[in-house]
Amino acid sequence: MSAPEQYLSQEESADVDAALLSSPEKFLTRLTISSQRLLQIIAQNYQVSVEQLTHHQIIQWFENESKIKREQGQDAGTLRW
């Protein structure tokens, strides 16, 4: 597993804050940007492009991430909550 990543940079967050969007739209925008970054990490793990990722691979990646956290503690793995 790779080192933890920051899924939304301060610059990206500031750009979202400055956007003419409602609070729910800003939340969804942040989530989408973060999801794009996470999908890139998952695709690298499977050595495929993001477009080639299947929902099965995404589920499997999260299952593996969950297993790592159960076995090694919440600070292990890629995701930080």
Question: In a 3-state reduction of DSSP, which class is residue 7?
Answer: coil
User: What is the distance between the alpha carbons of residues 74 and 55, in angstroms, rounded to a whole number?
Assistant: 24
Measured CA to CA, the distance from residue 21 to residue 46 in angstroms comes to 35
Tell me, what's the pLDDT at 16? 96
pLDDT band at 81 (very low <50, low <70, confident <90, very high): low
- Span 48-53, mean pLDDT? 98
- Please check the confidence at residue 30 and state whether its pLDDT lies above 70: yes
Who's near 74: CB < 8 A, 6+ residues apart? 81
